[in-house]
A and B are shown apart, each in its own frame.
Chain A
Amino acid sequence: MFAKGISFALNGLDGIQVEVEVDIHNGLPKFDIVGLPDAAVKESKERVRSAIKNSGFIFPNKAITVNLAPADLKKEGAYFDLVIALSILRAEIEDLKFAEDYVIIGELGLDGLIRPLDGIMSIMISAVKGGKTKFIIPKENAQEASYIQGAETIAVENLAEVVRIFKGEQEIKYIESNVDKVFSEQEKFEYDLCYVKGQYKAKRALEIAVSGGHNLLMVGSPGSGKTMLAKCIPSIMPKMTMEEALETTEIHSVAGKLSREKGIVATRPFMTPHHTATIIALAGGGQDAKPGIISLAHNGVLYMDEMAEYPRNVLECLRQPLEDRQISVARAKLYATYPASFMLCGSMNPCPCGNLGTKGAICNCSTSSIIKYRSKLSAPLLDRIDIQLDIEGVKYEDLSSDKLEEKSELVRKRVNRVRTLQQERFEGDKITTNAQMSEVHIKKYCKLSKECDEVLKAYYEKNNLTARARNRILKVARTIADMEFSEDILPKHLIEACSYRSKGTNERKY
């Protein structure tokens, strides 16, 4: 007796098709699984045997061999429990028929209940791309599956239910598609720019940063409002597109961080790792090569509070994703690559005690300790942070309080327009925002008039800037020009771009 089924394994974000073949013949009773790591085999056999028995079926007392192909794939056993169990039962229960084009995924509990799995969305997306349309998946994964277009999916609770379905004893109910509902709800944000008093420059910087996709660093003493400002960022970012939502959901799904009720990440993530987070937690990797926090921030914001407190090696691991917008993580034999296109927003104190540069506060830090503190952020890392900003708490009662602050919703509308403009310009350049411009793009899109050149030169001489800062200033100037729908970068755009530099990250004590 021979039966076949199809399931999927996960490598990084890629679903990989796995063929399951079960051969049952009379002979000395045995139960072998070929193509799984040893430890996984033992656990899988246990679960399949118990689940079959506890669901009221008879586990055949015969020689059973299960072969999983491809064999060289390092896979987790749990994904194949259900398809193995069903294939074994087919050998015994004659009218148990299922089309072999069903993709069957599910982990079995000893009691026959089907447990949810991580990464179902990734698997289904890969499978649909490979031409598969029919799926059996755990009930608890139904929500995330409902956002996949072109799939007919049955979500099941236990082994007995699946058997009934395939025997034709139970009506098949496909899960309803939720694709249209993803963005129907009004997004609600806890933080809105209209609650931030004053900080006009910071708010402008936030708008520029989000408009051009620039990374942002805020330097300021504790309580000056850095965290508050950062938390407003999602409220002015453009709404996620379906494509972006699926990308981000996949990552959250694979990392096991997806809310089962929501099933999708439809608002931009705002990830706040703590500075004690390990490299693996941040970048991903480890035993099962799960995505790290920076990948979970994909299409959203990575907010690193107190950036200078992070260990050096943790900070430096940001370089690759900031450049490539993805990150490779290694596990025993394989590399997995996860997308990591996020806006980095960092904050730090101007000095170890935090008081430097604040009016009326005393800083007792030695110059050497300040230099050491600031040098935590290396030049290559700072090169990737286009906008750097000094923040200072203001006595807000002194500001004219009757002035109505602008709502995030309005800012977001402007941001949307500037983003669209960039997408149109960069059509064919494989980038979407000004921040992503490479040297070649900068040459092409940031041409400077003679007057602009002179302004930049004057600013450089005044501030002893290194050549490295030039590209950052140009990119930001491009965004400021875009915000005015100006084809050319004008001196005023360039000059404003120059103002987004922090005193707190250079070497002078002021």
Chain B
Amino acid sequence: MKENIDTLALILLDSLAFLSYNQKREILKNANNISDILDKEFLLSLPNIDKIDRVIEFLTRENLQKVEQEISKYTVITYLDENYPDAFWQLEDYPLCLYCLGDTTLLQSQDSLSVVGSRKTLPQVLKFVSLLVKQVAQNRVIICGNTEGVEQEILSSTMGQNTICFLGGGIEKSFNNKELFTIAQNGLIITEYYPTHLQKGYQFIDRNRLIAVLCQEMLLISGSEKSGVRYTVEFAKQNYKTLYALPYTIGEPSGELCNEEIKNGAILVNKLQDLVKVENSRPSLTEQEKIVLSLIEQGTTQEDFIIEQSNLSVQEVLQILVTLEIKDYIIKSGATTYALTKF
């Protein structure tokens, strides 16, 4: 029950729209137990908190019930939870709470592709995006937002399947309910904003920093040189994510950023197969393949030793080694030795 109070208190604090993120952190920093923040004495002892009166007014045990009520439809993952995504710890301003609707296990995927782009995107490109994400979503997790243009196209194509959709505001203020329902049923809707908070323009850039750290790879669909999506791309690159981009003809404003990024080393994607093949290049492994792979991971890299230690027959091991090579997990590194593929 104590845990529950801590969590609820945290959510209650998070719900206070008039406090900045840093102020919330400041309050939490000084609390021994999170539930301390419900204590008037404690709050009064804090130095330099603006609007402390309002804080005291709202942070009460009575309001916990109201919060409990408001979030009852959602799964809330706080930074105190086991299943809080590791990726977000990379951020200075990691979210305190994540308000989720749908399958939160998608957050644990180690093979996700974020797809980003601007509102202004050519119709033929949208068509391509639609085909592409349908394919990719077959075996990878797609991460995107919910704004019009590219992101809406993705959502209506995958219908939420294997899709994580980040919102730039509270869930209740972001969607018409029917749409929300479909996507949450197949995939995951997630936001760091309390359900009743409004969307604000700058929050899309904040939202996109979550997309950029959570994904393994990023595909840039469109964007002018001034487009806000450039911050997202920059952020992904700083976090060592592999960047893919579509090519555009000279003079097409919605493609300036893409061409620029390709020039800087992003991988050019102009056919479905370009990305779908890369998608398929590391398919899942059988149990026996896993045995051999884990031996190599542990430093048993020579054929003879792999054969002895795996308890598999010679021909089985030889087949598995070739298969792992084809599946891109290992390479032949010496005459009779193997090494893990570097990504």
From 297 to 339 in chain B, residues with beta carbon under 8 angstroms from any chain A beta carbon are 302-305, 307-308, 314-315, 318-319, 321-323, 325-326, 328, 332-337
From 265 to 307 in chain B, residues with beta carbon under 8 angstroms from any chain A beta carbon are 302-305, 307
A213 to chain B, nearest CB (A): 19
Given contacts A394-B304, A480-B315, contact A357 B322 (CB under 8 A): no
Say which residue of A199, A391, A495, A504 sits within 8 Å of B323 (CB atoms): A495
A359–B333 CA distance with the chains assembled, in angstroms: 10
| Residue contact B334 to A358, C-beta cutoff 8 Å | yes
Provide the A345-358 mask, 1 if CB < 8 A to any CB of B, else 0. 00000100000011
Chain B residues with CB under 8 A of A499: 318-319, 321-322
| Residue contact A350 to B303, C-beta cutoff 8 Å | no
A363–B314 CA distance with the chains assembled, in angstroms: 30
With both beta carbons as reference points, the residue of chain A lying nearest to B302 in the complex is identified as A394
A498–B320 CA distance with the chains assembled, in angstroms: 11
Q: How many residues of B contact A (CB 8 A)?
A: 22
Chain A residues with CB under 8 A of B315: 204, 480, 492, 496
A498–B308 CA distance with the chains assembled, in angstroms: 21
| Residue contact B308 to A399, C-beta cutoff 8 Å | yes
A510–B337 CA distance with the chains assembled, in angstroms: 12
| Residue contact A503 to B304, C-beta cutoff 8 Å | no
Say which residue of A203, A496, A510 sits within 8 Å of B334 (CB atoms): A510
From 353 to 388 in chain A, residues with beta carbon under 8 angstroms from any chain B beta carbon are 357-359
* A38-46, A315-323, A455-463 - the one binding chain B: A455-463
User: Interface range on chain A: under 10, 10 to 19, 20 to 34, or 35 or more?
Assistant: 20 to 34
A510–B314 CA distance with the chains assembled, in angstroms: 25
| Residue contact B308 to A492, C-beta cutoff 8 Å | no
With both beta carbons as reference points, the residue of chain B lying nearest to A201 in the complex is identified as B303
A357–B335 CA distance with the chains assembled, in angstroms: 5
Chain A residues with CB under 8 A of B305: 394, 398-399
CB of A198 closer than 8 Å to a CB of B: yes
With both beta carbons as reference points, the residue of chain A lying nearest to B327 in the complex is identified as A458
| Residue contact B314 to A392, C-beta cutoff 8 Å | no
Say which residue of B314, B326, B337 sits within 8 Å of A359 (CB atoms): B337
CB of A400 closer than 8 Å to a CB of B: yes
CB of A390 closer than 8 Å to a CB of B: yes
Given contacts A204-B314, A394-B304, contact A458 B326 (CB under 8 A): yes
Say which residue of A200, A219, A492, A510 sits within 8 Å of B319 (CB atoms): A492
| Residue contact A198 to B335, C-beta cutoff 8 Å | no
| Residue contact B322 to A201, C-beta cutoff 8 Å | no
CB of A220 closer than 8 Å to a CB of B: yes
CB of A262 closer than 8 Å to a CB of B: no
| Residue contact A357 to B321, C-beta cutoff 8 Å | no
A492–B308 CA distance with the chains assembled, in angstroms: 20
A198–B319 CA distance with the chains assembled, in angstroms: 18
CB of A181 closer than 8 Å to a CB of B: no
| Residue contact A392 to B335, C-beta cutoff 8 Å | yes
B315 to chain A, nearest CB (A): 5
| Residue contact A510 to B333, C-beta cutoff 8 Å | yes
A448 to chain B, nearest CB (A): 16
Provide the A186-213 mask, 1 if CB < 8 A to any CB of B, else 0. 0000000000001111011000000000
| Residue contact B319 to A399, C-beta cutoff 8 Å | no
Chain A residues with CB under 8 A of B308: 399-400, 403
Q: List 27 A-B contacts (CB under 8 A).
A: A200-B303, A200-B304, A200-B307, A201-B318, A203-B314, A221-B335, A357-B334, A358-B334, A359-B334, A359-B337, A391-B335, A394-B302, A398-B305, A399-B308, A403-B308, A458-B326, A459-B322, A462-B328, A492-B315, A495-B323, A495-B326, A496-B322, A498-B322, A499-B318, A499-B321, A499-B322, A510-B333
| A-binding residues in B (CB < 8 A) | 302-305, 307-308, 314-315, 318-319, 321-323, 325-326, 328, 332-337
4 tightest Cβ-Cβ pairs between the two chains A and B: A390-B335, A392-B335, A198-B304, A392-B336
